Amino acid sequence: MRMAMIGLGKMGGNMARRLCRGGIEVVGYDRSGDAVQKLAGDVGMIAADSTADAVSKLASPRIVWIMLPSGDVTEAQIDELAQILSTGDIVIDGGNSNYHDSVRRGAKLASKGIGFMDAGTSGGVWGLENGYCLMVGAEPHVAAMVEPILKALAPAPDTGWAHVGPVGSGHFVKMIHNGIEYGMMQALAEGLALMENKKEFVLDLAKITELWRHGSVVRSWLLDLTAEALQSDKTLEGIAPYVSDSGEGRWTVIEAIEQGVAAPVLSLALQMRFQSQDDVGYGFKLLSLMRNAFGGHAVKEQHENH
């Protein structure tokens, strides 16, 4: 099976590697020619020098997966693909797009006979090794055509991926996933900050988080990453207490407001990220450290300006 991957950055590049290793032929394009050539040399990816070149190297029905920043960049790429793809072809958006945009884009492509899948993708920088959790929205026939690709990317062919509903539902589920992630991270960071502040007990947070990983009801991958990071840096003195948000946490809170559904934990976790820009504390440093551990998001050093 052959497909194209447009966008070979931190996520797209690793996904292309996993696909090639899983027996999927990948035609790859990125505006960075160096990224294209490296993947071609490392895993035998088929190099393309433009979107049109990538599409020309596919046989019908053509499947094009894009891994680009949400917003205008993704919009422009889908508009370009709409002009060069044909009836029966499929576009997959694996980035963190707003689900409202995905519904609109799916309808626009459908009017041209082109299938669309919105693929909420979780796994961060660890996805290459462990596989990606994929939450996909699409028409049933589109999901069936893409299934071999999903199986190659997932942790195992029968786990870690699901066709969750129609177009838009994949990015909706991923949005809620990220909102929950905010709340889980905030709870861990606040609890550890309380222990770090209890100076008279001289608590070893690396030891305690490692303890919690085994048999505790709060064990999780986030805890695993936090425990591992604290083994090498307990004070976090070099990390600025500044925590960015990717946008999906905001969209989750907006959705809660629009639905009239109470989501106080998710809402407050988002507000705490905003507060981190004006506050100093161990908990914010831990949040920044966690984001780096699972997603490779940049960590601001203490001397950097916000």
Angstrom distance (rounded) from CA 97 to CA 68: 9
Catalytic-labelled residue, pool 80, 151, 174, 198: 174
Q: Clarify whether 38 is annotated catalytic.
A: no
Catalytic-labelled residue, pool 129, 139, 147, 181: 181
Q: Clarify whether 80 is annotated catalytic.
A: no
Burial class (CB in 10 A: 0-12, 13-18, 19+), 74: buried
> Which of these, 297, 294, 299, 298, lies nearest to 132 by C-alpha position?
294
Which of left, alpha, beta for 28 (phi over 0: left; psi -120 to 50: alpha)?
beta
The residues carrying an active-site annotation are 174, 181
